[in-house]
Amino acid sequence: MYEAASPFLNEYPWEREGDRWGEMLICLLIGIGIDPNQSRKVVETLKELELISATDLANADKAQQEFIRKVFLQTGFGEDAATKAASVILAAARYTRKRWAGYIQRFLRKHGELMANELKATFTKFGLDKQSAGKVALLWLQNVANIPILLPQDPHIQNFCRHFTISATQLLEISDRLGLNVSVLDDLLALELQFGAGSAKSKRNPRHKRAQ
Q: What is the DSSP letter of 132?
A: H
Is 152 within the bounds of a domain? yes
User: Is 189 in the same domain as 120?
Assistant: yes
Whole-number Å distance between alpha carbons of 28 and 49: 20
User: Is 109 in the same domain as 135?
Assistant: yes
Is 132 within the bounds of a domain? yes
The closest of 207, 176, 201 to 6, measured between CA atoms, is: 201
Domain boundary among 100, 117, 149: 100
**Residue 89: Cβ within 10 Å count:** 26
Whole-number Å distance between alpha carbons of 195 and 96: 38
The pLDDT of residue 128 is above 60 = yes
Domain boundary among 100, 128, 153: 100
Measured between alpha carbons, how far is residue 40 from residues 25, 92, 139, 146, 153 in Å? 9, 17, 31, 21, 39
**Domain that residue 177 falls in:** 105-203
CA 166 to chain centroid, in Å, comes to 21
Is 212 within the bounds of a domain? no
Whether the model clears a pTM of 0.75, i.e. scores above it, the answer is yes
How would residue 196 be classed by pLDDT, with cut points 50, 70 and 90? low
99-116 average pLDDT score: 96
User: Is 78 in the same domain as 113?
Assistant: no
The closest of 126, 153, 151 to 138, measured between CA atoms, is: 151
How would residue 187 be classed by pLDDT, with cut points 50, 70 and 90? confident
pLDDT of 207: 42
Residues 161-190 as b or e (16 or more Cβ within 10 Å = b): beeeeeebeebbeebbeebbbbbbbbbbbb
Is 1 within the bounds of a domain? no
pLDDT of 54: 96
The pLDDT of residue 91 is above 60 = yes
User: Is 117 in the same domain as 149?
Assistant: yes
User: Is 38 in the same domain as 76?
Assistant: yes
The pLDDT of residue 8 is above 70 = no
User: Is 95 in the same domain as 129?
Assistant: no
Is 7 within the bounds of a domain? no
Is 5 within the bounds of a domain? no
User: Is 193 in the same domain as 122?
Assistant: yes
CA 181 to chain centroid, in Å, comes to 4
User: Is 92 in the same domain as 126?
Assistant: no
Tens of pLDDT along 31-85? Answer: 999 999 999 999 999 999 999 999 999 999 999 999 999 999 999 999 999 999 9
Is 8 within the bounds of a domain? no
How many domains, in total, are found in the chain? Answer: 2
Whole-number Å distance between alpha carbons of 196 and 171: 19
